[in-house]
Amino acid sequence: MQVKRNSKSSVIPSSSEIRKIVGASNRFGNPGIKNQQLTTMEVFHYLPVASNVTLDFFRNVNTAVFPFSNIQINSLQVGETMVINRIYFDVIEVVDATGVIKTVGTLETLFPGAYLSQFSWLNDNNRVIKEIGLTNMKPAHNRKGWNELNDVFHLETDITIQPLIRFICQLQIPTVTIPANAGSTYYIGCHAQGTGTLLAPRTTY
């Protein structure tokens, strides 16, 4: 007896992040994502540090230039998706007169008061990460820090960013003391990293 094989059968990805990308994209009516090029992806945006405010990272990212951001619109392009695995916030000191970046450091070293902040993530105005305190990132409380310096927050669930869906990270900062350094401005940066896809119009590699 001859057994017929399904020519359209697909390989089940071994990575949970890739499975989440493919599954979520299918529900968005975008089955072609599984044919795109897999990659490691990051989006980041820096805004001036301020006290007792809510900073909307990525909302007006079109006004930022490198190295204050690596994207020009707060959405991914056609064929691009991303699973957010890690989020962290760092601080840079910029010399006002020249624009030279003088220091790049962690909250622990440059702005420890910011650990009392909280952040959330919105995809197309839908809150997909509810308010989380930055104390989870502080090395003393970071369950995946493994050392006294690591302040990267590893998400417990796979949150996807779909193509053309606008995203925003809101950071609510309480009343804190901002580092004082004449002639310099401090910026806080939001970095989101994880597994993603790039458009592969011809083939994947």
Output the DSSP codes for 43-67: EEEEEE--SSEEEEETTTGGG--TT
Region of poorest pLDDT, from 53-57, 62-66, 152-156: 152-156
User: CB within 8 A of 148, min separation 6: which ones?
Assistant: 139, 140
Among 66, 30, 178, residue whose Cα is nearest residue 114: 178
At 16, which amino acid appears?
A: S
The two three-digit tokens of residue 43, written as one number:
């989006």
Alpha-carbon gap, residue 152 to 84, rounded angstroms: 12
Mean pLDDT of 111-124: 94
To the nearest whole number, what is the mean pLDDT of the chain?
84
**33 SS3 class:** helix
Would you give the end-to-end CA distance of the chain in angstroms? Answer: 38
Q: Are 74 and 186 in contact (CB under 8 A)?
A: no
At 89-112, the pLDDT tens digits run: 999 999 999 999 999 998 888 888
Q: Which of the two residues, 196 and 9, has the higher pLDDT score?
A: 196
Alpha-carbon gap, residue 33 to 193, rounded angstroms: 19
Give me the phi and psi of 105, to 5 degrees please.
Answer: -150, 175
The two three-digit tokens of residue 120, written as one number:
């959330």
At 147-186, the pLDDT tens digits run: 667 788 999 888 899 989 999 999 999 999 888 888 999 9
pLDDT over threshold 70, residue 39: yes
The domains located in the chain, with CATH, are 44-198 (2.60.120)
Side-chain-facing half-sphere of 44: CA atoms under 13 Å: 22
pTM of the model: 0.83
Q: Which of the two residues, 7 and 150, has the higher pLDDT score?
A: 150
Give me the phi and psi of 110, to 5 degrees please.
Answer: -110, -25
Bridge partners for 55 per DSSP? 171
In this structure, the number of other CB atoms found within 10 A of the CB of residue 8 comes to 5
Give me the phi and psi of 49, to 5 degrees please.
Answer: -70, 135
Residue 28 is classified by DSSP as T
Task: Specify the pLDDT at position 102.
Answer: 94
Burial degree of 154 (CB within 10 A; 0-12, 13-18, 19+): middle
